[in-house]
Amino acid sequence: MASSDVARQPDQGVRPLSLAGHVGFDSLPDQLVNKSIYQGFCFNILCIGETGIGKSTLMDTLFNTNFENFESSHFEPQVKLRAQTYDLQESNVRLRLTVVNTVGFGDQMNKQESYQPVVDYIDRQFESYLQEELKIKRSLHNYHDSRVHACLYFISPSGHSLKSLDLVTMKKLDSKVNIIPVIAKADTISKSELHKFKIKIMSELVSNGVQIYQFPLDDETVAKVNTTMNGHLPFAVVGSTEEVCIGNKMVKARQYPWGVVQVENESHCDFVKLREMLICVNMEDLREQTHTRHYELYRRCKLEEMGFKDTDPECKPVSLQETYEAKRQEFLMELQKREDEMRQMFVQRVKEKEAELKEAERELQSRFEQLKRLHADEKAALEEKKRLFDEDQSSFNNRRTATQFLQAQSLTANGKKDKDRKNSGFM
């Protein structure tokens, strides 16, 4: 181990030494195994596919158990992701398995409404892990890792080509999760059609730049089988939890009027290949790829958005403290700038308000002067009318007095005439 390290890093001045006897660090792999078995493992699978395509049945078949399943309809208003976590144990190995199902996927007219909730869910799990990682007091050793390690993308067995929704969704997800495409219900098309369909699918994925998960070839112990299995992608699978008697033994199969499709018969479907590659051979690589590739990409982008960088413009290393101080100064400057802008905006608004008030005051004063003039004019008109009225009244009174005087004289004259007439009668 030390020799290989020196071969990889000859410029660090590390020299190999031989041991005179047994030391004991050759038990490190055993210690790691024992510790891993004690802590247990976690594995999270995301199942993407249309409603009724067989996602739940395949999960039950893969892990040889009956998970809690819920009936779904084609009339969901939006895509919902339902995550269910189970504790499984095989021999002395404990596995915490999370199965995430996409309810209502593909039932929306807008394709973005189908894939966006899936993208958001994956990002939320990355963000939760990042927040835990950035805490001052971290507890990653007992943190439940909810990041998606594998995405089984269920392709409808149309026999023609991928749907546009499939291409759009996988393109959006290939940088966030390990995508393993599977052809669901592969017993509904013939072998020749299935072979052509596989070639067509891989051709469309390559032409559209979709990066699916490739089984690793760096480990010599599994390189050969992984190379072979990479050529079988996408896996054509059939799921069933029902057992049928074949010969003198019971096997998982699907019973049809024309015959029986055995789930674990490799000449019937690729279920065994999928199980071997997903669980038995490459589960740890899927977990590792999720952390070292997809999560690191998310983490790097997030930290760059926050302004953290490893090097300055001159490509010199920058410490976290320097980055923090630079961001702090930048934040304070931005805060001061915004404060000045707000102060200027406040002063400007005060001036504008004062101008509005002065203008309103001028308008009110002008209106007041106008009303005052109108009042004066109306008062003068009323006084003139009053003067004329008084003159008319005085003239009327004079005429009335004269009339009354004339009437009094007339009455007096008439009285004298009557008296004279009476006196002349007596005589």
User: DSSP letters along 155-180, please?
Assistant: EP--SS---HHHHHHHHHHTTTS-EE
Q: Which residues contact 146 (CB under 8 A, 6 or more apart)?
A: 44, 83, 98, 125, 128, 129
Q: Determine the pLDDT at residue 426.
A: 56
- What is the average pLDDT across 392-417? 86
Q: Determine the pLDDT at residue 345.
A: 93
> φ, ψ for residue 150 (rounded to 5)?
-145, 140
Please determine, for residue 28, whether its predicted confidence score (pLDDT) is greater than 80.
yes
- What is the average pLDDT across 283-293? 93
- Host H or E run for residue 235: strand 235-236
Q: Determine the pLDDT at residue 408.
A: 86
Length of the chain: 427
Averaged pLDDT of the chain: 86
Please determine, for residue 6, whether its predicted confidence score (pLDDT) is greater than 50.
no
Q: Determine the pLDDT at residue 155.
A: 92
Query: Whole-angstrom Cα distance, residue 266 to residue 46?
Result: 24
| Residue predicted with more confidence, 424 or 125 | 125
Residue 234 preceded by cis peptide, ω within 30? yes
Q: Which residue's entry shows tokens 């010599």?
A: 220
Q: Determine the pLDDT at residue 352.
A: 92
Q: Determine the pLDDT at residue 3.
A: 37
User: Reduced to 3 states, what is the DSSP secondary structure of residue 181?
Assistant: strand
| ∠ Cα 215 219 221 (to 5°) | 100
Lowest model confidence (mean pLDDT) among 237-246, 247-256, 314-323: 314-323
Q: Which residue's entry shows tokens 């005439």?
A: 417
| Residue predicted with more confidence, 365 or 426 | 365
Which has the closest alpha carbon to 289: 132, 170, 151? 151
Tens-digit pLDDT profile for residues 177-211: 999 999 998 888 888 899 999 999 999 999 999 99
Q: Which residue's entry shows tokens 């927040």?
A: 131
Q: How many CB atoms lie within 10 A of CB 88?
A: 15
Q: How many CB atoms lie within 10 A of CB 192?
A: 9
Tens-digit pLDDT profile for residues 128-171: 999 888 888 888 777 888 999 999 999 998 878 888 899 999 99
Q: Determine the pLDDT at residue 383.
A: 92
| Residue predicted with more confidence, 314 or 207 | 207
pLDDT bucket at 232, cuts 50 / 70 / 90: confident
Tokens of 323: 């980055």
Amino acid at 16: P
Query: Whole-angstrom Cα distance, residue 140 to residue 133?
Result: 7
- What is the average pLDDT across 210-219? 91
Give Dmax over CA atoms of the chain in angstroms. 196
User: Reduced to 3 states, what is the DSSP secondary structure of residue 206?
Assistant: helix
> φ, ψ for residue 308 (rounded to 5)?
-85, 135
Amino acid at 421: R
Tokens of 57: 């049945």
- Are residues 56 and 154 in contact, defined by beta-carbon separation less than 8 angstroms? no
Q: How many CB atoms lie within 10 A of CB 55?
A: 26
CA distances from 380 to 3, 367, 392, 404 (A): 119, 20, 18, 36
Q: Determine the pLDDT at residue 371.
A: 93
Percent of the chain with pLDDT over 90: 41
